[in-house]
Amino acid sequence: MKLLDGINHLTFITADLDRLIAFYERVFDAQVILDLEEDGLRHAFIEVGPNTVLHPFQIPGIQPPEDLPMFQRGRLDHFALNATGEEAFRELHRRVIAEGRDDGEVTDMGALLLFSFTDPDEGRHEVVWWKPGRPTDHVKRADWKRVELD
């Protein structure tokens, strides 16, 4: 019996909640399901999938960390969002490039395709498409390759 069906929400700091919300609405068709200002801070629930919510906080005097290399970013290094299919993966890649938030690289990891994007607070995150029918136990770094999307 599975006990969980995904992540409910991911919480992080933003310098500008309106800018962050606009980015996720524009690029990921996200929907704000809660936007509150209380106790001197503002936070929102940004629904990016049927079971996944981003929960950014804008807190006066607290800034998100600057752009740092992977594994030096703090307690939450990055998150990866699942594309609903190959067509959605390609469309999201196109949108992120149009926003100037991606270097255009796509990595084929065997069982999945992945690209990275940078949000408006310089958070570096990923979008993943799991290939149907591919075993997930073969994603060794030595087998990864850069690919071009048509």
Largest CA distance in the chain: 49
**15 Cβ contact partners less than 8 Å away, ≥ 6 residues apart:** 58, 63, 64, 121
Both tokens of 81, joined, read 């969002």
CB 81 within 8 A of CB 125: yes
Average pLDDT in the chain:
86
CB 89 within 8 A of CB 44: no
CB 15 within 8 A of CB 64: yes
Residue 104 has pLDDT above 90, yes or no: no
Domains of the chain: 1-59 (3.10.180.10), 78-145 (3.10.180.10)
Both tokens of 30, joined, read 């996200």
Residues 110-145 pLDDT 10s: 888 999 999 998 888 999 999 888 766 666 666 676
Residues 30-41 pLDDT 10s: 999 999 999 889
